[in-house]
Amino acid sequence: MDRRRFLKNVIGGGIVAGSTMAFGNFAQLLAATGSPVQAYDLVAVRGGEPGAMFDQAIASLGGMQAFVPRGSRVVVKPNIGWDVTPERGGNTNPALVKRIVEHCLQAGARDVSVFDHTCDPWAQSYRSSGIERAVKDAGGKIVPGDNEGYYQQVAVPDGKRLSEVKVHGVLLEADVLINVPVLKHHSSTMLTVGMKNLMGVVWDRGYWHRNDLHQCIADFISYRRPTLTVVDAYNVMKQNGPRGVSTADIVQMQALIVSTDPVAADAAAAKLFGVEPEDIPHIRLAADMNLGSMDLSGLSINRIRL
């Protein structure tokens, strides 16, 4: 029996049952036996606060050291697009962002940079979202994304509609990309999750909207696949997205999805939202391009309830 299957069987047998102590023992086991092994394709957590849910999810995947090599440069990409407060659900939950930055630094990251090319003015969005304060408190770096000079043109060789794009330089220098979208309704794409969140690392988003938005979203994943996608589904905007109107647009789901497969993460988030993955064109297109799996039935999924 190979090591990956052994770990799946052990976990499936109940040795790791969802307690913090058990997850800690699992992470220690992986560390003691050499390079960590990812025993699950996707982890879905319900019923906790954002930081606690991420602690459980990343431990069940072998700890952040499985994804962040010591001395690496890390980019954490939340949604900070809007000048609204956390309870409005327009941006990624700051408590989740803080905890991810902390895990990266504890794993030995050289530095952790956080940025977004915002829709509302960047300084207000960073501040109102609570993410600027959270990142600084965690020891990370807040980087602006509002100037074209920060971006460099790169080729997208496998893109069907997106053949080149200007990408923020801090991402071009990064060893690790952790994509941290907030799950919410979107007027242009029905819903926005991980793949669409990466529109915030490029300069000319308008080109995407004018030239087959869904295909461009899928094309970009062929250029830069996130190391991890961490979907914030704590406060989920069910209508009037992407900015929202008030807290009346929000349903508190207290959920989190984590995967190395960006298509699977978005597919699971779509189901959580209440739609089928194949009904979201960019999810279907990315799956058709073999950039990930939207068929969750074939995946090893760890479901945790706190």
Total domains in the chain come to 1
Question: Closest Cα partner for 186 from 235, 244, 232, 233?
Answer: 244
Does the residue 17 lie in any domain? no
Does the residue 252 lie in any domain? no
Range of the domain at 193: 40-236+265-305
If one counts every other C-beta atom within 10 angstroms of the C-beta of residue 46, the result is: 15
Rg (CA), the chain: 18
The pTM score is 0.88
Does the residue 215 lie in any domain? yes
> Cα–Cα–Cα angle for 185, 192, 194, nearest 5°?
150
Q: Per residue of the chain (306 residues), give pLDDT as tens.
A: 343 443 444 334 333 333 333 333 344 434 443 444 558 999 999 999 999 999 999 999 999 999 999 999 999 999 999 999 999 999 999 999 999 999 999 999 999 999 999 999 999 999 999 999 999 999 999 999 999 999 999 999 999 999 999 999 999 999 999 999 999 999 999 999 999 999 999 999 999 999 999 999 999 999 999 999 999 999 999 999 999 999 999 999 999 999 999 999 999 999 999 999 999 999 999 999 999 999 999 999 999 999
pLDDT at residue 242, rounded to an integer: 94
Does the residue 8 lie in any domain? no
pLDDT at residue 232, rounded to an integer: 98
Strands 228-237, 151-155: pairing is: unpaired
If one counts every other C-beta atom within 10 angstroms of the C-beta of residue 69, the result is: 14
Does the residue 25 lie in any domain? no
If one counts every other C-beta atom within 10 angstroms of the C-beta of residue 288, the result is: 11
Dihedral, 108, 4, 256, 222 alpha carbons, nearest 10: 80
pLDDT at residue 39, rounded to an integer: 80
Does the residue 218 lie in any domain? yes
